[in-house]
């Protein structure tokens, strides 16, 4: 599991953790994949999840798209997790920078992932910095949007099944950006 840097407990009892590490090694019930709308898992977080979890994740993703169509920002898909430590992978479609209305689309992807985890009755979820890699979303802006969306969800959904949400950030610049936004929100270390 990754190294924890900051944490905040919400009135619902859910603990939000800011951590650095490899999301594919998280021992939680589900991890969020930063996916594209057709669930083709080639590079970035999606590629790492597929390499570690196995081809069954791609097969289930293909079946999801055949059955439900392209995945939207607000309605993530989910599959079993193959060889990963978790039970599920929630496939959230983040926005590509420059396509328009990126903040709202990223917030919808984050909230949709939290909602999907609660629909599955899960207690723990790990999420990467969605869209900040090959999709080009500026990291500082993503930190603000993602933390605001998580806070909004956890403050409104007091009866959520989620007991822990982990933001698992791979590199130091991303951790620094999320830490800075965390402190701007007045959340203690």
Question: Stretch 154-173: mean pLDDT, rounded?
Answer: 94
Q: Is 123 helix (H, G, I), strand (E, B) or coil?
A: coil
Residue 149: CB partners within 8 Å, gap ≥ 6?
106, 107, 110, 111
Please tell me the predicted confidence (pLDDT) of residue 68: 96
Cα 93 to Cα 123: distance, rounded to the nearest angstrom: 22
What tokens were used for 66? 């055949």
Of 44, 96, 53, the C-alpha closest to 73 is 96
Please state which CATH class domain 3-184 belongs to: alpha beta
Degrees to nearest 5, angle at CA 143 with 138 and 145: 95
Eight-class DSSP state of 79: E
pTM to 2 decimal places: 0.96
| Cα 173 from chain centroid (whole Å) | 18
Domain limits of the chain? 3-184
Question: How many CB atoms within 10 Å of residue 81?
Answer: 24
Q: How confident is the model at residue 130 (pLDDT cuts 50, 70, 90)?
A: very high
Enumerate the H helices of 78-171 as residue ranges.
102-119, 139-156
Q: Residue 132: pLDDT above 70?
A: yes
Across the range 31-37, mean pLDDT stands at: 95
Q: Which residue has the higher pLDDT, 188 or 170?
A: 170
Does position 100 have pLDDT exceeding 70, yes or no?
Answer: yes
């Amino acid at each position: 599991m990754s190294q924890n840097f900051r944490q905040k407990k919400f009135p619902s009892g859910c603990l939000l953790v800011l951590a650095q590490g490899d999301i594919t090694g998280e021992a939680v019930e589900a991890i969020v994949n930063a996916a594209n709308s057709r669930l083709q898992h080639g590079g970035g977080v999606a590629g790492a999840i597929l390499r570690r979890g196995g081809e069954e994740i791609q097969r289930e993703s293909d079946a999801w798209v055949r059955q439900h169509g392209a995945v939207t920002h607000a309605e993530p898909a989910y599959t079993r997790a193959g060889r990963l430590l978790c039970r599920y992978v929630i496939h959230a479609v983040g926005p590509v920078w420059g396509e328009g209305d990126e903040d709202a689309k990223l917030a919808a992807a984050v909230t949709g992932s939290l909602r999907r985890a609660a629909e599955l009755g899960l207690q723990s979820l790990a999420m990467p910095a969605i869209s900040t890699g090959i999709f080009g979303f500026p990291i500082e802006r993503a930190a603000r949007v993602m933390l605001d969306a998580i806070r909004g969800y956890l403050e409104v959904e007091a009866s959520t099944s989620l007991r822990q949400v982990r933001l698992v950030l791979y590199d130091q610049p991303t951790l620094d950006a999320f830490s800075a936004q965390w402190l701007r929100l007045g959340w203690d270390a």
